[in-house]
Amino acid sequence: MPSFSELASHRSISKYRDYQEMFKLQDPFFQVHEQRSGAEAMIGGRGYANFASYDYLGLNQHPEVGAAAIAAIKKFGTSVSASRLVAGERPVHRELEAELSQFYDTEDALVYVSGHATNVSAISTIVGPKDIVFYDEFIHNSATTGAKLSGAKMVSFVHNDPADLESKLALYREDHKFALILIEGLYSMDGDVPDLARFIEIKQRFGAWLMVDEAHGLGVLGESGHGIAEHCGIDPNEVDIWMGTLSKTLSSCGGYVAGRRELIDVLKYQSPGFVYSVGMPAPATAAAVKSLEILQRSPERVARVQANGRYFLAQCKEHGLDTGLSEGHAVVPVIVGDAVLAIRLTDRIFKRGVNALPIIYPAVPLKSDRVRFFITSEHTQEQLSYAARVTREELDRLAGKGSHEKRLRPAG
């Protein structure tokens, strides 16, 4: 009988645990947060400046959001029990979809119970074996998973490089029925944004659909938080498919697609992640509705997260930290280029009251291992400057022991 320990994925986990044991590190993953987390977290009875939360506008702490969820529980319960096709809809489902559609100025929208499943299910439904998907090499796992399941030909292009996309469209587009281009509005690993106007011009010229993942851009980009379209001064109708998640700025759970009514009809009746999966719980849906409302009436929160992102990026640069491609839009990686160093640095800064997580290969390319910081509207300048300074200090301390660490690494 074969053992699951023979799986390559388990060997990878075991190797990571060897690092932890060798360097006596606390596992930075699956930390137990003992209260609501945002700019601050309570872990193991200690308070931390928290940079591992996507609560970009602090709405997970907002009393109106909690009150909306509680009211929905009282009226509709905690679950809708089955898919919306089977168990029916609740008024808040249609309310959220109408609000999202209006937000993106599209004809319709659809919400899913999982953000990851939104991309997987939508992409695998929209295209098929006769089609082709062009995707940014840094696109999220959910997008590439959906493309693989579709059976379409997959072609990656150099990150944020419209010219490379154009050359590959010229090479492959005419041999396929439909073409889909996948990009993000704000890249969650690197904190940079695309030249949206250029991607739109290219997709129009080659007769392709453009899908933009707004998971991290919503509430962060644009003067009023309307995302990459507002940031770039683009009519959102120029984009064929808007996708995003509800778990970040909108302090809920799930994902959404917004676009033409025909697109939403196809997804509503054909996408497995909607047809065969439970509908969003009413309290989570109501929380997202309220968060979207607060976002639209609170431009000062958007201004704060943008100012904080710029400030933290400047602090990191002042301390000589490598922030890669980040433009300071709430996502700022500190690139160290080595998995062990990233894990050790995380452990060191955690002991000094800063919670930020390592991102290592294969989540990022080889030699670009990093500690990633997410900035919110609720962080103080003191927290931001302290985190940058502590990161620099601990990185310097570790660098002084680099050769010793290298000799101690596990084999394999």
Q: What pLDDT does 158 receive?
A: 98
At the topology level, CATH places domain 17-57+299-408 in Aspartate Aminotransferase, domain 1 (3.90.1150)
Amino acid identity, position 394: E
Q: Are 241 and 211 in contact (CB under 8 A)?
A: yes
Reported confidence tier of residue 29, pLDDT bands at 50, 70, 90: confident
* Alpha-carbon distances of 193 from 93, 175, 236, rounded to whole Å: 30, 30, 16
Residues 259-285: pLDDT tens digits?
999 999 999 999 999 999 999 999 999
Rg of the chain over Cα atoms, rounded to whole angstroms, equals 22
Interatomic CA distance for residues 255 and 281, integer angstroms: 13
Q: What pLDDT does 403 receive?
A: 37
Q: Are 38 and 57 in contact (CB under 8 A)?
A: no
CB atoms within 10 A of CB 234: 16
For residue 63, whether the previous peptide bond is cis, meaning omega lies within 30 degrees of 0, is no
Domain ranges of the chain: 17-57+299-408, 62-297
Interatomic CA distance for residues 140 and 136, integer angstroms: 9
List own/partner pairs for 229-232 with CB under 8 A and 24 or more apart.
229/104, 229/196, 231/185, 231/193, 231/196, 232/193, 232/195, 232/196, 232/197
Note the residue count of the chain: 412
Q: What pLDDT does 11 receive?
A: 83
Q: What pLDDT does 349 receive?
A: 98
Interatomic CA distance for residues 37 and 24, integer angstroms: 26
Tokens 């500190």 correspond to: 334
What is the average per-residue pLDDT within 107-126?
A: 98
Interatomic CA distance for residues 8 and 17, integer angstroms: 14
Reported confidence tier of residue 114, pLDDT bands at 50, 70, 90: very high
Tokens 């929160």 correspond to: 301
- Most confident residue range from 3-12, 13-22, 173-182: 173-182
Tokens 């007769």 correspond to: 207
Percentages helix, strand, coil for the chain (3-state, rounded to 5) are 50, 15, 35
411 pLDDT higher than 90: no
Interatomic CA distance for residues 174 and 254, integer angstroms: 35
Reported confidence tier of residue 12, pLDDT bands at 50, 70, 90: confident
The counts of H helices and E strands in the chain are 16, 13
Q: What pLDDT does 34 receive?
A: 86
Closest among 225, 210, 214 to 127, alpha carbons compared: 210
Reported confidence tier of residue 406, pLDDT bands at 50, 70, 90: very low
Name, in order, each residue with C-beta under 8 angstroms of 138's C-beta and a sequence gap of 6 or more: 159, 160, 184, 187, 189, 190
H helix intervals, 208-260: 228-232
- Supply the mean pLDDT for the chain: 94
Reported confidence tier of residue 409, pLDDT bands at 50, 70, 90: very low
Amino acid identity, position 268: K
pTM, entire model: 0.93
CATH class of this structure's domain 62-297: alpha beta
Interatomic CA distance for residues 411 and 322, integer angstroms: 28
